[in-house]
Amino acid sequence: MTNPATTDRLSDRAAARIRWARQLERGFVLAAWALLGLLAAVFLALFAGVLQTGWERLQPDFFLTFASRRAAQAGILAAWVGTLVVMAVTAVVAIPLGVAAGVYLEEYARPGRLTTLIEVNIVNLAGVPSIVYGLLALGLFVRLLGLGASILTAGLTLGLLILPIVVVATREAIRMVPQSIREASYAVGATRWQTVWQHVLPAALPGILTGIIIGLARAIGETAPLVTIGAVTFIAFLPPAPFSPEAPFLSFDWLWAPFTALPIVTFDWTSRPNPAFRPNAAAAALVLTFLTVVMNATAVWLRYRLRRRQLW
């Protein structure tokens, strides 16, 4: 029979440990909130400074004029157009390859050493500094393939940069789909491809779209790879139009055109000794920040709306 005194001592020890654990949890939560508040305060202070410096330059002329050696006449027309077309090429390169690779690794690849090696390398590539991708693009696309410092080179470079992110996001989204959905599909005679295409991918679509948009939001602000491949800092013309009045009505000459982007002009204006360019740099940074916030907000909105339609 258990001694009542021993039982009381054990209960007191357990209660003391529970109290200590609760105090430790409260301390951790308070420290986390304090750090979060500190980071938010630093971000708001920096953003307020940039907003105060560049707000006056956010006029229609700033968006509709080209770069100039005079700060008051300089604009970001070529920069934001270049950013949009580079992002379009990046999306075309990264999204199909990333989603297809994620589906294959999660649904079709057999477990083994080769599959494990590929998975480890993909996860490691997601954390490689962007300058490494710029050096790779400089040697492969610019020099070996002779694509030059073009929109196509920039899109391929940023596509490789976010490709691991898209693959990892696709795999995680597919992994969250309940196995019962697959089993129910197989039970009614569906093939593996029909199961993946008609059931697994629609169920994983919110997570996949979120990963894609977050990856594009990262790519839109990258400067180091574009500088490495030789992006133009001063450009006073737009790429050729993608449409032609003559058959076949499509033109791909714009892919080989030189380009600039919002991160490039921001870096260029910031590094100039003339202080008159600092409002321009701040205004360009505000535009870039706005685009990034819009893309992340779109990812959250799509994830919320699509998940509401799911039944599980």
Specify the pTM. Answer: 0.83
Residue at 258 is within a domain: yes
Among residues 277, 265, 212, the alpha carbon closest in space to that of 66 is found at 265
Question: What is the average pLDDT across 54-62?
Answer: 89
What is the spatial distance between Cα 312 and Cα 307, in angstroms, rounded to a whole number? 9
Q: Which domain holds residue 86?
A: 72-308
Contact 82, 151 (CB under 8 A): yes
Residue at 214 is within a domain: yes
What is the spatial distance between Cα 222 and Cα 204, in angstroms, rounded to a whole number? 28
Find the helix or strand (DSSP H, E) in which 295 lies: helix 278-308
Residue at 19 is within a domain: no
Residue at 65 is within a domain: no
Query: What does the pLDDT read at residue 116?
Result: 87
pLDDT in tens, 225-277: 888 888 888 888 888 887 777 766 777 888 888 888 999 999 888 888 888 88
The CATH number of whichever domain residue 173 belongs to comes to 1.10.3720.10
User: What domain count does the chain have?
Assistant: 1
pLDDT in tens, 192-221: 889 999 889 988 988 898 888 888 888 988
- Cα of 5 vs its chain's centroid, Å: 61
pLDDT in tens, 1-26: 556 666 666 676 777 788 888 888 89
- DSSP H helices in 65-150: 77-103, 113-125, 130-137
pLDDT at 98 over 90: yes
Residue at 192 is within a domain: yes
Residue at 112 is within a domain: yes
Contact 62, 134 (CB under 8 A): no
